[in-house]
Structure 1
């Protein structure tokens, strides 16, 4: 048996497993076939000589292919960026597993959820949920597929898990949150204090991290004043999902200067996490943003 035939035989032994992963993520047998075929082509080009764990390698490659396919499928005019900056996300709610009864209910719901809820998930949420909750792949392995931290990956799976349990899409709620964030950005750009106060909770907190250190500003009036002072001529705001939270990336002259993640509760902004470290942002913001 030639080396190529040996690689092909080993790949075939994993085909049904990869097919199951791809179908669970993509929800289409035809798309799953395409993803698995692409995984085979990448393996054939790479060769199997330097791969110690072929199943793990194929899982990672297939996961990334599915992620790319989901992103291409969902491309639209103002698709939010997905940024993972580590310190800005909401508290990790994915640290504890559900109790056994909930696990059974979750397992029973996966088939229906793929057709009812999955389309409301972001590509990263969908991949993290399926790989962890259905195929029990460790979060550090999924983080490598997504190019995110393990903590951010846990949060993505937790958000997806919550929607699956609800049994209905949360797209409307997310759209409402994004409207609040958009209103904040528009008011800040106009220097409109009244407009900012309309979307800020009275006890809102602005938690800023910069090269000079960290600070917290509390209260709607104080945060609104800082937001208007921080508005720059020539600045552009890009809608973003920042560590799983609705957010905004600010660029000036095509260079990222700050990113904000918002917690919206009851139609008002309660927490803003602001990172204003251009050097750090340059490492996590895609070059095509500019």
Structure 2
């Protein structure tokens, strides 16, 4: 082959590689919000979910797209495997975490709240229940129950047989059902309970707080060793009210609150003397608040200034 022919052949190769990369990028961007949602529901951390997406992209960029029949399924499989590896690593990290651990709250758009299935799946209440599953159980539950992925595809993602995945899914579903809220309340019911709580909190109305809290309400606060928080969950309306009002009284601070939507559900941004102090999410059952989840760890408050897009599709 002549020198001129060699130059012509070499010059033709980069555009071909560029076209393949463009196709890979287009597919990844098209499914990015879905992949982030999968990773976040498995990990409970936006920062770790972003790292998983970066690792997913690096692997996806090296795939021969001509061999991929279903790009969405293939990307979900890569994301699941990377999230599983990170989830196992996070389990060791959480063992040294100071105080109770809560998922990282995300500011979400109104359309997330309108999608009841999506809003429940990313709620603080359900995310905490998912924390009680093993990494593989969590992956199987999330893929099957939340994203309706087929058993064969889940099996490929978690390196198990379809029969084993069915057993894991059944076990995880039974575990979650025993611990998840008994009913899914409407956004309007949740907002009404939150508004009552907000009024009572800002006016330090003890009876108002007792009226809106369920008798066996649980308060979980996460300071991560950076901000002060209860070292363990507080159970019971009386104890929760004393903790809240007592803390405000001792601090002698000006508390203000602002309604927002976190993880697809009504929540409050709390400010102390004008400075952001944390996010408080709620779980509502029978028109009363049965769970309070207060994230004060500043490292977990980076996603409440701008909306994070989430999707099940």
> What's the TM-score once normalised by structure 1's chain length?
0.46
Q: Which has the higher contact order (CA 8 A, sep 6+)?
A: 2
> What's the TM-score once normalised by structure 2's chain length?
0.43
| Structure showing greater Rg | 2
